[in-house]
Amino acid sequence: MPWLIGAAILLLILTSEAYAMKRSVEKDSEIQSWIMFYAEKNRVDPNLIRALIKKESSWDPEGINPSDPSFGLMAITPILAQDYSELTGDVIVKDWRNRTAEEVQAIFDPETNLKIGCWNIGRYLPVCSLEESIQMYNLGRHGYLSGGRVPDYLEKVLRFYDEYSRI
pLDDT tens, 40-95? 999 999 999 999 999 999 999 999 998 889 999 999 999 999 999 999 999 999 99
Q: What confidence category does residue 129 fall into, taking pLDDT thresholds of 50, 70 and 90?
A: very high
The one-letter amino acid code at 117 reads G
- How far is it, in rounded angstroms, from Cα 109 to Cα 72? 7
- How far is it, in rounded angstroms, from Cα 48 to Cα 11? 32
Instruction: Give the H or E element holding residue 5.
Output: helix 2-27
CATH topology of domain 29-166: Lysozyme (1.10.530)
Q: Is the pLDDT of residue 23 over 70?
A: no
E strands of 35-100, at which residues? 64-65, 70-71
- In the three-class reduction of DSSP (H, G, I as helix; E, B as strand; rest coil), residue 70 is classed as strand
The one-letter amino acid code at 140 reads G
